[in-house]
């Protein structure tokens, strides 16, 4: 990561865990609202229960900030209600998520080192 | 609730969001909420309540934030959210702190969903029940009647005048702007479609001008249509006109065959017109021969309705009507008794229509009011417990500079908000259940069409909610911030002060128990009364008996011979239907609320001077009636086929009549006169049968052979079958219609159904009061348990010390129990006093149960005390069994 993209990505960090989870849910595939709620709940092992109201408030910010966009994706017609709205990550969204992951990995590394030191004492 | 209805409610919640937000996301949110709802439904009611709770809270919280919060700035928000929030400036200081309070409260609710769900549902239950019952009270009792100047309308003689003479004479009263007579009538309509019997009214021609209702089509009656032979006219109700004539306005002026005669349709009443009695579908004129309106005493049933002159008071009208009644009584003292004169007094039409129901409705409203109070006590306790647990939080806030009033206001905002949420849910649930409630009311409930959730009901629910919020919110809010809050920073909320500190909570327990006792005693009395009513032996066996009314049209059956031939044929054909054991017929169906009371005299047994005349019901039956109804024959013989036209007229009397007229002597062979002209010989005595209902004393009654006498052309068939009679309905109707297709068959019911309807009012009241009583019991128990858990929990530390110092667990248990049962006992005593004072209101709704029924008054407090003891025992035992080490370390 270098050049002009670097500044805006950093401005979004650190991400709130919930935001990170929403981005993560969208990283795999494009999803509609309820699918995001379900995915977040599953990925967090049931710890994060996102309700409709808060979900859309976060989505609104993510849309406004350009991390997520509405998609025109539709699954096979027989599985889908045509009125559903799907969301997907933008390039920027992916970059922010990657940067956050990197930041967290760095943190984890530091904690591990600290643990090693303590264990060694 | 259906998914669509739920989503509609959710969409309404989204109104909390600003418009642009909704435009962008509402559709998607509804969709997502629908998915979440689907999922929650499969998980059960807890998940559903949780979903709705968050839906409400989130809408309020996020809606407020989106409306009044900072514009969702790029980057700052997610990077440093607190900074964004602190920049928030909306309105002046008061609004801002209020909004802060609201946001803070909502966040608090979200953090304690268990508390919020319990408190919200408890309140919703109370408000919902009150809303539903109040809607009924409002529609039936409070709303004015749907007529012009309804307060001017009065009924005379409790609605029943007895004679045309009265009807005509009373028109002289100058205090009355108009008097109209009316009576119920059922007539068969034949031609153009199925033959059917329809309900309507005979009215004097001025009926609609007294009520001031113009017709929808055509005209109302003219004065000369109230004269014999000029009365072949009919006015239709809007509903009947729509149903039978397909809203065809050209039917005005055409003729229909109604009852014995063809009549010209002259008008149709407007759709919104509500007749004096429910279900009237047509009106025909009452005829009075101007040259002879002599008395026809005995055919009671013409009701009198009048409109007072605008400036006349009810008292003035009463005096004048009484004078006229006294004048009439002078002419015929043997007919018009003192009692009759007294009953002349004009009574507001509203009172006549609403009648006894009013009292029952107010009682129900009082009962749900009690339920609400108990619910409030529970919530107050929940808030109090929550407030205690949060003392540390408040202490920190005051230490950081918050004024105590600020903290109190915060708490009050919480309870107001809780009230708002619970109240909204309750109003919604109440509104939804009103129609269910109305459907469950027995058919005797008048004015059901006026029941609706209107602005008044809405205002009532709002007022109830506000009052409830103040009741349950104020004391806990003041309490929680009382005393030296800094103390709670030092000690972690442990208490060794004993009961003094829990005085308010003990008062709550006493109040809850007291209210529950009153309610459960009331419910107990009603249930016992209903049970007593059920125990009454009707005097016949209603099992496996089907009844239906046959109304041979007088236009076709002009002579008695024809009618007799018809009924004999029907009897014969019905007996041939498989499964039929016996067939009878009667002019008046038992327990269906009608009979004819007539004066009777016994030959050679004149009544002593000054004793009132004796009345007996006359019943016209066929020989099969006795066997079908399983009425016991006590002596002599029953009517049989030999008692027919031409043979000497005979009658069978019931036990009550035999005792009243002959005492211990044998009435067989005695000669009796009824109707002033009908002489008959008594041939037998049968057991008593409750003709008018289980709660009405059995009157003297005489049975005549319908085949021997002239009687009303309609008969109720009673058919005993070997199995469930409902299986044979179609076959039986077909058999009757095979004799004559043009005879309307109506009121097809099992006799068990007829009997059960007579106790419907009592059953309904017992059921509803019983349900409220049970609710009170459950809420009260939860309340006692909650308080005891809390109080004992507060003393865990103290109990730990005592146990560590050698105290016995049993002693601790006993001490806690005793302490817990003191407010319970106080509540029971107060409740009993309250019950003695208030059950008097039930007195005329009770059947063979006194308002101070000993069993109920002994049993109810016992049950409540036992339940309360159990609710006290569980937490007390838990505390007494703690490991001292654990309780001492529990800081």
Q: Which two tokens stand for residue B196?
A: 């059917």
**Position B765 pLDDT exceeds 60:** yes
- Count contacts between A and B (CB, < 8 Å): 75
- Count CB atoms within 10 A of the CB of residue B390: 18
pLDDT digits (tens, 9 = 90+) for B360-410: 889 999 999 999 999 988 888 888 888 777 777 778 877 887 777 777 788
Cα atoms in the Cβ-side hemisphere of radius 13 Å centred on B462: 7
Q: Which residue of A has its CA nearest to B36?
A: A34
Mean per-residue pLDDT, B537-555:
90
Query: Which pLDDT score, from 0 to 100, does residue B145 have?
Result: 86
pLDDT, greater one: B702 or B86: B702
C-alpha distances (whole Å) from B18 to each of A68, B34, B60, B84 are 22, 21, 11, 19
Q: Using CB atoms, pick whichever of B31, B33, B62 lies closest to residue A57.
A: B62
C-alpha distances (whole Å) from A22 to each of A25, A46, B316, B320 are 5, 14, 80, 84
Contacts of B21 in chain A (CB under 8 A): 60
Q: List the beta strands (DSSP E) in A11-120.
A: 31-32, 68-71, 86-89
Confidence of residue B293 (pLDDT cuts 50, 70, 90): very low
Query: What value, to the nearest 5°, has the Cα angle with vertex B685 and ends B683 and B688?
Result: 150
Inter-chain CB proximity B29 and A16 less than 8 Å:
no
Contacts of B25 in chain A (CB under 8 A): 56, 59-60
DSSP one-letter code for A121: -
Query: Which pLDDT score, from 0 to 100, does residue B110 have?
Result: 84
Mean per-residue pLDDT, B502-525:
89
The SS3 assignment for B189 reads strand
**Position B827 pLDDT exceeds 80:** yes
Confidence of residue A49 (pLDDT cuts 50, 70, 90): confident
- Name every residue whose Cβ is closer than 8 Å to that of residue B208 and which is 6 or more positions away in sequence: B214, B215, B220, B221, B269
Query: Which pLDDT score, from 0 to 100, does residue B716 have?
Result: 92
Query: Which pLDDT score, from 0 to 100, does residue B301 have?
Result: 63
pLDDT digits (tens, 9 = 90+) for B153-176: 998 876 455 566 677 777 888 888
pLDDT digits (tens, 9 = 90+) for B621-640: 999 999 999 999 999 999 99
Q: Using CB atoms, pick whichever of B28, B39, B72 lies closest to residue A33.
A: B28
Contacts of B62 in chain A (CB under 8 A): 53-54, 57
> Do the Cβ atoms of B672 and B651 come closer than 8 Å?
yes
Q: Using CB atoms, pick whichever of A19, A34, A57 lies closest to residue B35.
A: A34
**Position B92 pLDDT exceeds 70:** no
**Position B234 pLDDT exceeds 90:** yes
ipTM of the complex: 0.86
Whole-number percent of chain B with pLDDT over 90: 28
* Residue B201, H or E segment: strand B196-203
Give the predicted TM-score (pTM) of the model. Answer: 0.70
Query: Which pLDDT score, from 0 to 100, does residue B585 have?
Result: 93
Query: Which pLDDT score, from 0 to 100, does residue B264 have?
Result: 93
- Which 9-68 residues of chain A touch chain B by CB within 8 A? 11-16, 19, 32-34, 37-38, 51-57, 59-61, 64-65
pLDDT digits (tens, 9 = 90+) for B262-272: 899 999 999 88
Q: Which residue of A has its CA nearest to B66?
A: A57
Q: Which two tokens stand for residue B664?
A: 């211990």
């Amino acid at each position: 990561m270098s050049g002009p993209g670097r500044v805006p990505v950093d401005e979004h960090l650190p991400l709130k865990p919930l935001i990170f989870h929403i981005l993560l849910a969208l990283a795999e595939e494009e999803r509609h609202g309820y699918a995001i709620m379900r995915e977040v709940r599953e990925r967090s092992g049931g710890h994060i229960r996102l309700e409709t109201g808060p979900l859309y408030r976060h989505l609104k910010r993510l849309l406004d900030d350009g991390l997520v966009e509405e998609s025109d994706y539709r699954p096979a017609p027989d599985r889908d209600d045509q009125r559903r709205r799907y969301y997907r990550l933008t390039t920027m969204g992916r970059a922010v998520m990657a940067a956050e992951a990197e930041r967290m990995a760095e943190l984890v590394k530091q904690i591990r080192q600290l643990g090693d030191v303590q264990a060694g004492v | 609730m259906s998914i669509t209805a739920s989503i509609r409610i959710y969409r309404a919640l989204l109104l909390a969001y600003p418009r642009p937000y909704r435009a962008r996301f509402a559709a998607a949110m509804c969709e997502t909420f629908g998915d979440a709802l689907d999922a929650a439904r499969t998980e059960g009611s807890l998940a559903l309540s949780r979903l709705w709770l968050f839906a409400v809270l989130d809408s309020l919280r996020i809606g407020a934030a989106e409306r009044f919060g900072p514009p969702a700035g790029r980057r700052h928000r997610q990077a440093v959210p607190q900074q964004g929030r602190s920049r928030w400036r909306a309105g002046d200081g008061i609004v801002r702190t209020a909004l802060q309070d609201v946001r803070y409260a909502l966040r608090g609710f979200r953090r304690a969903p268990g508390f919020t769900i319990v408190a919200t549902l408890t309140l919703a239950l109370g408000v919902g029940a009150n809303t539903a019952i109040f809607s009924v009270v409002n529609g039936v009792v409070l709303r004015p009647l749907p007529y012009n100047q309804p307060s001017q309308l009065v009924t005379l003689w409790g609605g029943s005048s007895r004679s045309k003479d009265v009807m005509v004479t009373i028109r002289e009263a100058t205090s009355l702007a108009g008097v109209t007579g009316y009576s119920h009538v059922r007539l068969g309509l034949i031609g153009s479609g199925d033959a059917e019997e329809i309900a309507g009214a005979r009215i004097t021609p001025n009926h609609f001008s007294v009520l001031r209702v113009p017709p929808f089509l055509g005209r109302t009656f003219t004065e000369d249509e109230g004269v014999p032979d000029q009365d072949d006219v009919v006015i239709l109700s809007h509903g009947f006109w729509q149903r039978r004539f397909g809203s065809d306005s050209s039917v005005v002026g055409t003729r229909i065959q109604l009852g014995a005669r063809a009549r010209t349709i002259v008008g149709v009443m407007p759709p919104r017109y509500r007749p004096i009695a429910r279900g009237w579908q047509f009106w025909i004129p009452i005829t009075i021969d101007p040259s002879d309106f002599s008395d026809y005493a005995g055919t009671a049933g013409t009701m009198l309705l009048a409109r007072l002159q605008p400036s006349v008071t009810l008292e003035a009208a009463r005096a004048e009507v009484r004078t006229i009644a006294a004048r009439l009584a002078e002419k015929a003292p043997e007919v018009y008794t003192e009692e009759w004169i007294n009953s002349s007094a004009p009574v507001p039409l509203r009172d006549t229509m609403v009648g006894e129901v009013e009292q029952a409705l107010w009682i129900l409203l009082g009962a749900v009011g009690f339920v609400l109070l108990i619910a409030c006590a529970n919530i107050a306790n929940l808030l109090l417990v929550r407030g205690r647990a949060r003392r540390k939080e408040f202490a920190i806030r005051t230490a950081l500079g918050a004024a105590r009033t600020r903290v109190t206001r915060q708490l009050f905002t919480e309870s107001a908000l809780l009230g708002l949420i619970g109240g909204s849910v309750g109003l919604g649930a109440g509104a939804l259940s009103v129609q269910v409630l109305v459907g469950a009311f027995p058919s005797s409930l008048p004015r059901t069409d006026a029941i609706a959730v209107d602005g008044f009901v809405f205002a009532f629910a709002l007022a109830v909610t506000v009052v409830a919020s103040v009741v349950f919110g104020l004391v806990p809010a003041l309490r929680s911030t009382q005393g030296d809050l800094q103390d709670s920073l030092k000690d972690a909320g442990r208490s060794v002060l004993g009961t003094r500190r829990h005085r308010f909570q003990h008062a709550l327990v006493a109040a809850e128990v007291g209210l529950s006792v009153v309610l459960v005693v009331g419910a107990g009395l009603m249930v016992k009364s209903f049970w007593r009513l059920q125990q009454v032996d009707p005097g016949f066996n209603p099992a496996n008996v089907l009844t239906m009314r046959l109304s041979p049209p007088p236009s076709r059956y002009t002579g008695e011979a024809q009618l007799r031939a018809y009924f004999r044929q029907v009897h014969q054909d019905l007996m041939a239907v498989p499964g039929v054991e016996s067939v009878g017929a009667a002019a008046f169906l038992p327990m269906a609320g009608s009979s004819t009371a007539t004066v009777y005299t016994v030959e050679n047994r004149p009544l002593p001077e000054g004793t009132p005349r004796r009345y007996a019901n006359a019943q016209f039956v066929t020989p099969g009636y006795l066997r079908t109804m399983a009425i016991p024959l006590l002596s002599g013989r029953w009517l049989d086929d030999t008692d027919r036209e031409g043979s000497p007229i005979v009658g069978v009397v019931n036990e009550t009549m035999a005792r009243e007229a002959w005492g211990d002597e044998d009435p067989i062979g005695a000669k009796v006169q009824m109707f002033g002209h009908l002489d008959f010989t008594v041939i037998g005595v049968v057991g008593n049968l409750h003709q008018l209902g289980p709660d009405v004393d059995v009157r003297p009654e005489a049975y005549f052979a319908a085949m021997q006498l002239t009687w009303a052309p309609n008969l109720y068939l009673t058919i005993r079958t070997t199995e469930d009679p409902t299986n044979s309905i179609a076959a039986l109707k077909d058999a009757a219609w095979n004799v004559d297709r043009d005879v309307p068959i109506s009121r097809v019911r099992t006799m068990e159904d007829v009997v059960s309807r007579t106790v419907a009012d009592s059953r309904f009241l017992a059921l509803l009061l019983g349900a409220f009583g049970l609710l009170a019991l459950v809420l009260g128990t939860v309340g006692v348990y909650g308080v005891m858990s809390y109080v004992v929990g507060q003393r865990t530390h103290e109990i730990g010390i005592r146990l560590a110092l050698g105290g016995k667990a049993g002693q601790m248990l006993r001490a806690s129990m005793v302490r817990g049962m003191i407010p319970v006992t106080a509540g029971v005593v107060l409740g009993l006093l309250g019950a003695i004072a208030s059950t008097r209101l039930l007195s005329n709704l009770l059947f063979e149960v006194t308002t101070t029924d000993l069993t109920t008054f002994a049993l109810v407090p016992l049950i409540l005390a036992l339940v309360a003891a159990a609710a006290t025992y569980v937490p007390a035992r838990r505390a007494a069994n703690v490991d001292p080490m654990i309780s001492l370390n529990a800081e």
